[in-house]
């Protein structure tokens, strides 16, 4: 017999906030989604950002006990100040206290990759694993770390940032040495995501192609696309083998646009298992299971 949802009981409001859209969902005590909303993110106007969110809550006419936000950015766990490259209006703003005052509710915020990892560790592809490192292979690369079912949040909210820090070297003949948005050069993020794959192919072959065309060429074993993706997998697997050796992660769920290519994740997993110290016949790098709702589900666990 299906579970009846009590629409008058206080629900948990979860939101997935990116530079383009705010996605909101009201979730009951049984983790059922009972309502969804989406609006454009007022990324350049803090007053509109807060008021737009608050207006959605008021329009629902549904009792809410707390708001948990998955943010495409970072929150310092000490000062609560946030930074998000695609939402400049919240830079250096203590967003959780501000929104809490506006909504009259407890507000919790975490990085979207952290929320993704928490969701996949508890109810998704990595359920049953003690140590989980989640990766995002999207426009760039991101990550999060869960140990014993709990999210690990480092200083200034920085954990799981495997795409940043000098990884490549100037003068390398196999990979380009490019400036990164974080202010350094040679970061894995410069060639690790979809835009990075395009930059790598341009550097190697002098040909501007979309990541989709490069992947399709690789799947068809066409030159030079096959050579580009082979080199791409080799580099990413180097980094992930180090991550696994350090964190002890026994499962690495992958999300983001590139993770939809099953053959790519399989090839990456095989390369990683050849390089890391953890010896297993079962896959370590696996496709995430929770899709676009991973951020919302992860936020519900904050």
- Topology annotation, domain 11-105: Nucleotidyltransferase; domain 5 (3.30.420)
Bridge partners, 187 (sequence order): 166
Provide the 3-class DSSP secondary structure of residue 72.
Answer: coil
Task: Spell out the residues 6+ positions from residue 193 whose beta carbon is closer than 8 angstroms to its own.
Answer: 137, 138, 139, 140, 141, 163, 256, 258
pLDDT of 212 reads 96
Smallest CA-to-CA distance from 196 within 173, 164, 172, 222 is with 164
Copy the structure tokens of residue 23.
């996605």
What angle do the packed helices 211-219 and 262-275 form, to 10 degrees? 80
Confidence of residue 30 (pLDDT cuts 50, 70, 90): confident
Smallest CA-to-CA distance from 249 within 147, 135, 125 is with 147
Count Cβ atoms below 10 Å from residue 249 Cβ, excluding itself: 27
- φ and ψ at 73, to 5 degrees? 180, -165
Distances (CA, A) of 52 to 18, 40, 107, 109: 14, 9, 16, 17
Question: Taking residues 91-105, what's their average pLDDT?
Answer: 95
pLDDT of 3 reads 44
Question: Taking residues 152-171, what's their average pLDDT?
Answer: 92
Q: Do domains 11-105 and 127-288 have the same CATH topology?
A: yes
- Superfamily of domain 127-288 in CATH is ATPase, nucleotide binding domain (3.30.420.40)
Flag whether pLDDT at 222 surpasses 50.
yes
Average confidence score pLDDT of the chain: 93
pLDDT of 35 reads 86
The model's pTM is 0.93
The residue with greater pLDDT, 9 or 148, is 148
Flag whether pLDDT at 290 surpasses 70.
yes
HEC per residue, 163-222: CCCECCCCCCCCCCCCECCCCCECECHHHHCHHHHHHHHHHHHCCCCCHHHHHHHHHCCC
Q: Please state the domain extents for the chain.
A: 11-105, 127-288
């Amino acid at each position: 017999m299906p579970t009846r949802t009590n629409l008058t009981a206080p629900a948990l409001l979860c939101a997935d906030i990116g530079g383009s859209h705010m996605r909101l969902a009201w979730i009951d005590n049984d983790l059922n989604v009972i309502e969804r909303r989406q609006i454009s993110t007022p990324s350049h106007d803090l007053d509109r950002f807060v008021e737009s969110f608050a207006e959605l809550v008021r329009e629902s006419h549904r009792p809410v006990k707390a708001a948990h936000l998955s943010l495409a950015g970072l929150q310092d766990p000490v000062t609560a100040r946030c930074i998000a490259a695609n939402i400049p209006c919240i830079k250096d703003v203590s967003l959780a206290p501000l929104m809490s005052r506006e909504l009259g509710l407890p507000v919790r915020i975490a990085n979207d990759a952290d929320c993704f990892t928490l969701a996949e560790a508890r109810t998704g592809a990595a359920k049953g694993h003690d140590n989980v490192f989640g990766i995002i292979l999207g426009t760039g690369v991101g990550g999060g770390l869960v140990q014993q079912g709990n999210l690990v949040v480092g200083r200034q909210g920085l954990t799981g940032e495997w795409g940043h820090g000098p990884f490549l070297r100037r003068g390398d003949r196999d990979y380009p040495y490019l400036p990164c948005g974080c202010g350094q050069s040679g970061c894995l993020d410069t060639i690790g995501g979809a835009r990075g794959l395009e930059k790598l192919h341009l550097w190697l072959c002098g040909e501007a192609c979309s990541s989709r065309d490069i992947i399709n060429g690789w799947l068809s074993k066409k030159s030079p696309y096959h050579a580009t993706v082979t080199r791409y997998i080799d580099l990413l697997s180097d980094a992930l083998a180090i991550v696994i050796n350090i964190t002890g992660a026994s499962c690495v769920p992958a999300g983001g646009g590139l993770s939809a290519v099953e053959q790519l994740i399989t090839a990456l997993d095989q390369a990683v298992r050849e390089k890391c110290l953890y010896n297993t016949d079962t896959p370590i790098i696996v496709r995430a299971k929770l899709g676009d709702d991973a951020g919302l589900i992860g936020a519900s666990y904050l």
